[in-house]
């Protein structure tokens, strides 16, 4: 199984990257938390990898921090929580926020994640309450600057991939951009949209 990859970042998007390792391009699915901290294209990076072998495909999930990978493993160990849903959780909540929500029985915060209802939120709290304390919280990673090209489209794409309705997302992104006199970076735009969408 592949547990770690180091290579050149040849493509990056809010949902995945392509990592060039000695001429072989690996497509790796990532959460937004990892995307926000990616370096510029062509830079060298190392990702913690979880390999998921299915009957019809082999999927690679990548994380810049060990705590993200460990949280992902814990989440996918719960019945009914697959890789896509676990990525959605880590894209909406940071690892410290996820731990806090579980330890304080904050089902509403977990239920704000697209695809997680109150029943699923309760199951996550029940099954992980005694486990999340073992997670190592990594130091905050510096957020990289984003080239302001097609930022709104990238933000919409990222949020739709999380499960929000395209029309709701587009309206929210447009509203946020109108309220700011200067353009927002992609990560700031997505974070602000997530905060507002979770309240609706």
* Co-location of 77 and 123 in the same domain: yes
Q: What pLDDT was estimated at residue 23?
A: 92
How far apart are alpha carbons 197 and 200 in whole angstroms?
A: 5
Q: What pLDDT was estimated at residue 87?
A: 92
* Co-location of 130 and 80 in the same domain: yes
Tell me whether residue 115 is in a domain.
yes
Q: What are phi and psi of 164, to 5 degrees?
A: -75, 155
How far apart are alpha carbons 29 and 15 in whole angstroms?
A: 6
Mapping DSSP onto H, E and C, the string for the chain reads CCCEEEEEEEEECCCEEEEEECCEEEEEECCHHHHHCCCCCCCEEEEEEEEEECCCCEEEEEECCHHHHHHHHHHHCCCCCCHHHHHHHHHHCCHHHHHHHHHCCCHHHHHCCCCCCHHHHHHHHHHHCCCHHHCCCCCCCCCCCCCCCCHHHHHHHHHHHCCCCHHHHHHHHHHHHHHCCCCCCHHHHHHHHHHHHHHC
What's the CATH code of the domain at 189? 1.10.8.10
What's the CATH code of the domain at 16? 2.40.50.140
Q: What is the span of the domain harbouring residue 96?
A: 66-134
pLDDT digits (tens, 9 = 90+) for 164-176: 877 778 778 878 8
Q: What pLDDT was estimated at residue 137?
A: 62
How far apart are alpha carbons 183 and 170 in whole angstroms?
A: 16
Tell me whether residue 85 is in a domain.
yes
Of 25, 42, 63, the one marking the end of a domain is 63
The domain tally of the chain equals: 3
Give the tokens for residue 90.
């880590």
* Co-location of 130 and 158 in the same domain: no
- The residue ranges of the chain whose pLDDT is under 70 are 136-150, 181, 199-200
Apex CA 171: angle with CA 166 and CA 174, to 5°? 120
Whose tokens are 């990548």? That residue is: 62
* Co-location of 53 and 107 in the same domain: no
* Co-location of 54 and 89 in the same domain: no
CA–chain centroid gap for 61, Å, is 11
Asked whether 195 and 187 are in contact (CB, 8 A), the reply is no
* Co-location of 87 and 49 in the same domain: no
Q: What pLDDT was estimated at residue 148?
A: 40
What's the CATH code of the domain at 83? 1.10.150.20
Apex CA 5: angle with CA 18 and CA 61, to 5°? 65
* Co-location of 54 and 71 in the same domain: no
* Co-location of 71 and 110 in the same domain: yes
Asked whether 22 and 7 are in contact (CB, 8 A), the reply is yes
CB atoms within 10 A of CB 145: 10
Tell me whether residue 181 is in a domain.
yes
Tell me whether residue 143 is in a domain.
no
Tell me whether residue 146 is in a domain.
no
């Amino acid at each position: 199984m592949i547990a770690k990859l180091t290579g050149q970042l040849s493509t990056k998007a809010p949902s995945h990257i392509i990592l060039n390792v000695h001429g072989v391009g690996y497509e790796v699915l990532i959460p937004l938390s990892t995307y926000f901290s990616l370096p510029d294209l062509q830079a060298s990076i190392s990702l913690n990898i979880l390999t998921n072998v299915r009957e019809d495909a082999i999927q690679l999930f990548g994380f810049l921090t060990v705590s993200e990978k460990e949280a992902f493993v814990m989440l996918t160990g719960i019945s009914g929580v697959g890789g896509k849903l676990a990525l959605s959780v880590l894209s909406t909540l940071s690892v410290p926020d996820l731990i806090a929500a579980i330890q304080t029985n904050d089902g509403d915060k977990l239920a704000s994640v697209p695809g997680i209802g109150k029943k699923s939120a309760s199951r996550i709290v029940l099954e992980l309450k005694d486990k999340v304390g073992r997670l190592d919280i990594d130091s905050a990673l510096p957020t990289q600057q984003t080239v302001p090209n097609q930022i709104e489209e990238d933000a919409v794409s990222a949020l739709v991939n999380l499960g929000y309705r395209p029309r709701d997302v587009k309206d929210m992104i447009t509203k946020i951009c109108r309220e700011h006199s200067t353009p927002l970076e992609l990560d700031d735009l997505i974070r602000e949209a997530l905060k507002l969408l979770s309240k609706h």
